[in-house]
Structure formats: C-alpha cells, structure tokens
Structure 1
Amino acid sequence: MSGPTGPIRIAAAAAHFGRDLEFDLARIAKLIDDARREGARLLVLPDAALGGYLADLRHPDPEALPPALKPDDPVIQRVARLAAEMVVCVGYCEDAGDERYNAAVCVNGDGVLGRHRKVHLPAGEVAAYAPGDRFNAFDTPVGRIGMMIDYDKTFPESARSLALDGARILACLSAWPASLTNRAPRMAQDRQARLFDLYDQARAAENQVVLASANQTGSMGGMRFLGQAKVVGPGGDILARTWAKAGLAVAEVDVEAEIARARRVLRHLDERRPTAYRGGPP
C-alpha cells in the first residue's frame, strides 16, 4: 500500500531517558514540539523512551527493571495527545501479566496506530523480557510503517518481513550502547557504532525503503549509548543525522517518489528467489 503523495518531513530523535516517567514525558513533549516546529509529520523516538533501558545488559537486576506499562496505560495515552496531528513511535516496557516485553507503540491524536514487541533479544535481555513473535506493518496518515527495536535490525529477515508486508517506512527504535567488551577510545572507532550505521543503511537499501533510526544518548548503569539518529533513503544514503549528540535528524522525503526511483530498474522484493533460500526451523 502506498502512502501520501508529495514530500513529508521525517524526524528521528537522539535523547536520553531514565526511570522517571514524568521527566521522560516532559522530554518527549519537548521533542514533539521541536519536531513540529521543523514541520515533521513523523517522529521516531528511541527504545525505552518511557522508563529507560536496562541498567546492566549482561546481568539485569530484577529489582531495577524499567517500570512496566499496560498497553492502554494513561502514560501512552498522554503521548498520543501530545502527538496530536503527528505520528509518533515510542518505546516502553510492556506489562503483559506474566510476561514483560521490550515494546514499541505508534500513536497520533486518534490513538494507537500500531504495536511491536521486540523479537530478537540479546543475551542479557532474556532475563528481563519475553520475545515477540511477529513483524507486522500498519497504515498511518504518513504511509505504511513497520517498527523494529534495536537488535531486531541485526537480522535482515526483520526488515524484509516488514517490507514484504508493504512497509514504506521502517521505524527503528534503539537503546544501542557502545561495545561492552571492547571499549574504543573514540566513539567513531567503536565497533557497535559502525554496526549501528551499517545496519541502518543496509536495511534501507536492501529493501528499497525509507528508514528512520532513533537511539538513546547518555549512559545507564555501565552502558554508554551511541546516539547516531538518522533518516536513510531507499538507496542507503543518509539524508540527515545527529552523530553522537542529542537532537533531531530531520529530512524531507517524497517517500513514494524515492521508492519508485530506487525500484525503477532493480526491484529487490520482486526479484527474490525464495525457492533457492533455506528456511524454516534448523
């Protein structure tokens, strides 16, 4: 399904969030206001923007986890009211009764437009969260969107599943830290910083879609987050970025025109050969 015709402004945020939900909501309100002043119709916020990320990814303390919110929690409804005419994607810890999920919700003033539970969990997250089990795209006023949460984008199947479901824009919400095992003296030399950019560009280019990547900044426990929010075009080109600083990456993109241009000769989704690929359970 195609989206609106003509260019739209897309914003991806780099910002720090912690356990204080009122602080987080105030920061979200400021980012929405800033994006609105930039003319953005879509704003992608980081993973765990409501309640912060885990303080220790290797050995999460079960007594120090982010606050868990029900899918219809008033806090999420407040974000929807703040969004108003804009489309906003935001990450949070979902309370699903016996399970918790690292989750994301996409909202505007009318309410919830789409949801995602993180499917791919790095080793430490397994102790805190249950994995999601699907990737679904959904329609919004700015076009059909699919969401991924940080480690999801490491796996090409995540973005490909969303593109095959008609997503024109991939919203990547991250709390992506610098390397925990091999600290580099400068962020530009950090292995995880290079991979973060590589995955963003590859997922956009291989699926010939627009990608908006948000990430946390600052630190939580022993982790230092990368920032590096960006908007990527369907050819893999970075249209706007924040580097390691907090702020907004804002790009004006005619999503349908750019996708049509990228797919004019080579149409990756149509030219796949599924019968030649290995699939199913190992």
Structure 2
Amino acid sequence: MTITFAAAAEGFVRDLDEDFRRIEKLVARAREAGAGLLALPEAALGGYLSSLHGDHDDEPPQLDGDGPEIGRLIDLAGDMVITAGYCERGDTASGGRPYNSCVAVTGDGVLGRHRKVHQPLNENNSYAAGDRFAAFDSPVGRMGMMICYDKAFPEAARALAVDGARVVVCMSAWPASRTNRAPVLADDRWTRRFDLFDRARALENQIVWVSANQAGEYGSMQLVASAKIVDPGGEVLATTGTEAGLAVASIDVDESVDAARRFMGHLRDRRQASYVPVPA
C-alpha cells in the first residue's frame, strides 16, 4: 500500500496557541496532499531551548503526556498519523526534571511515545534522559520514533529496525554550527551532518526515514530545516532544503523495504556473535 508522508520544517515558540495555529496550517497542507503521516519537529509544542550552551534563561512549558495539548493534537489528526515533540512533565523517576519527548497520535488516540535518550552539550541540565527505543503498530505500518541527537547513534535506529519498524520518524531542533558557520546555510557542516545521518540511518537499516526539523532562528540558534523523506536505499525522495516548508513523498513501504532487503539484507546478514560488546 502506498503511503504519502509529509515532514515539516517549521519554527515553534513558547506560545502554545501560536504553535497550534502553525500546526493547523501544516495539517491542512498535509491533508490536501493526501498524507497518511505528518511529522512535526522536536519541541513543536512549546518550542525548544533557546541555547544548547547553558546560557538560556527560559524553559519550555511542561506538558502532561495525556494532557489537553495532546488531546488537541488528537483532535486535529483525524485519520492521519501525526508525530510531534514536546516537553513532558517530570516524574519521580526523573527527580522532577522534564523529559524531551514525542508522541504519535491519530484521531483514535495515542499510538506511541518516546523520550529522547541521547543528550548533546548541556541539554542534560534541562531534561532527564529516556532509556529505550521501541517500535509500535500504526496505520502506516510498524514504526518507531527518535529525537534529534538520537540519530547520531546507529544503535538507536538499529534497535527500532530489529523491533520490526519499517518507518522511522526522527524529530529534531537541529542547529547550524555555532563556530565558523558557513555563509550559506546549506553548506554548513552541521547541515551536512544532519543530511548524512538521515541517509545513512535509512540505508543501513533499509527502512523509510521521515525527518522533521525546526526552521528559522530561535534564541541563539539558526535551525537548519532540511526536512525530508528518505527511501530504504538512502535516496532522498523529497526535502525542504534549508527553508521552512513541507517535504511530501509517496512510497509503498512494504514493497520498497522488501525490495531493498531481497538480496542485500542488512538485518538478515548480521553476524551477532562477531560483535564484541562495548563496555558502558
């Protein structure tokens, strides 16, 4: 079955009503394109940190995982799958610190959740870390989610693929480099890394990869946008480039994944006994 995927590159702010106005516009565009899944960026509900270097003086609003904001997202989704990032209220296990989280919903409710595991620079000063990667079933097939820096670790995407995910959505607030930033955003080394990780994770696991990212400027950061859909061969089917927008592409998930794995099956051909465990 062919599924149309939409990945958003858009900026989001502390004002939740404004965020939902932007989300409503993206949902309308995705629905007009016939999308079965719309991926919104990390921190789409309430905005991301204004800096990754410990020099910010504001925090995103903490939201409950089953609170009214998630309910509002469910109401917007209808028969579409929507994924979105938010700051999840802390609990006893986190010592009260919030999690950098994301959720997948349809109009019927929550399909899956993820808490960001890997934390860059000083993000651990603001968020507690998650501790797992798990796939779940959805109307677009078995899928998994991760957030931003998670994709720099091959084990994260591999864990989801081994758990049966054929679609992985990565939601980011990925900035350009802070030092020696390129005059043209597309040439910035952090933009190139963002794109390389997207293509590599799709290819090495032979999965459909959907990458959403924040766009524009927020605090001290210039976000690289570059939302995209990547096929199981690592080819970019659609991208926003470094501008805000919506990347839209249609692909038969099962057919494309099965074709990619038919002869060169990366999951099938692993030699687990040869991989020496790396000490923690």
1:22 pairs, out of 1, 17, 20, with: 17
Q: Indicate the residue corresponding to 1:128 in structure 2.
A: 126
Per the TM alignment, residue 181 of structure 1 is displaced from its structure 2 partner at its CA by 2.4
For 1:34 and 1:191, how far apart are their aligned partners in 2? 31
Task: Name the aligned partner's letter for residue 236 of structure 1.
Answer: G
For 1:141 and 1:188, how far apart are their aligned partners in 2? 34
Deviations 1:10-31 (A, max 9, x none): 1100001010000001111110
Q: 1:268 to 1:7 in 2, by over 3 A?
A: same
Per the TM alignment, residue 111 of structure 1 is displaced from its structure 2 partner at its CA by 0.7
Task: Name the aligned partner's letter for residue 196 of structure 1.
Answer: F
Q: Indicate the residue corresponding to 2:168 in structure 1.
A: 170
Is the Cα–Cα contact under 8 Å of residues 54 and 60 in structure 1 kept in the other structure? no
For 1:226 and 1:188, how far apart are their aligned partners in 2? 8
Q: Indicate the residue corresponding to 2:140 in structure 1.
A: 142
Is the Cα–Cα contact under 8 Å of residues 97 and 126 in structure 2 kept in the other structure? no
2:31 pairs, out of 24, 36, 52, with: 36
Deviations 1:196-223 (A, max 9, x none): 0000000000000000000000111110
Task: Name the aligned partner's letter for residue 86 of structure 1.
Answer: M
> TM-score under structure 2 normalisation?
0.97
> The residue matched to 1:143 in structure 2 has which SS?
coil
Query: Structure 2: 5+ residue runs without aligned partners?
Result: none
Task: Name the aligned partner's letter for residue 222 of structure 1.
Answer: S
Q: Indicate the residue corresponding to 1:153 in structure 2.
A: 151
Q: Indicate the residue corresponding to 1:281 in structure 2.
A: 279
Deviations 1:76-120 (A, max 9, x none): 110111001100000000002312111000001011000000000
Per the TM alignment, residue 123 of structure 1 is displaced from its structure 2 partner at its CA by 1.8
2:81 pairs, out of 76, 80, 87, with: 87
For 1:172 and 1:99, how far apart are their aligned partners in 2? 23
CA RMSD of aligned residues (A): 0.9
> The residue matched to 2:89 in structure 1 has which SS?
strand
Is the Cα–Cα contact under 8 Å of residues 60 and 124 in structure 1 kept in the other structure? no
Task: Name the aligned partner's letter for residue 36 of structure 1.
Answer: R
Is the Cα–Cα contact under 8 Å of residues 186 and 241 in structure 2 kept in the other structure? no
Q: Indicate the residue corresponding to 1:102 in structure 2.
A: 100
Q: Indicate the residue corresponding to 1:248 in structure 2.
A: 246
Is the Cα–Cα contact under 8 Å of residues 18 and 51 in structure 1 kept in the other structure? yes
| Aligned length in residues | 276
> The residue matched to 1:33 in structure 2 has which SS?
helix
Q: Indicate the residue corresponding to 2:234 in structure 1.
A: 236
Deviates more, 1:176-185 or 1:249-258: 176-185
Per the TM alignment, residue 280 of structure 1 is displaced from its structure 2 partner at its CA by 4.9
Deviates more, 1:192-201 or 1:90-99: 90-99
For 1:266 and 1:244, how far apart are their aligned partners in 2? 33
Task: Name the aligned partner's letter for residue 26 of structure 2.
Answer: L
Deviations 1:233-273 (A, max 9, x none): 00000001100111110001000000011011011001111
For 1:144 and 1:93, how far apart are their aligned partners in 2? 25
Is the Cα–Cα contact under 8 Å of residues 60 and 125 in structure 1 kept in the other structure? no
For 1:184 and 1:64, how far apart are their aligned partners in 2? 28
In the alignment, is residue 70 of structure 1 matched against residue 33 of structure 2? no
For 1:58 and 1:275, how far apart are their aligned partners in 2? 40
Query: Structure 1: 5+ residue runs without aligned partners?
Result: 1-5
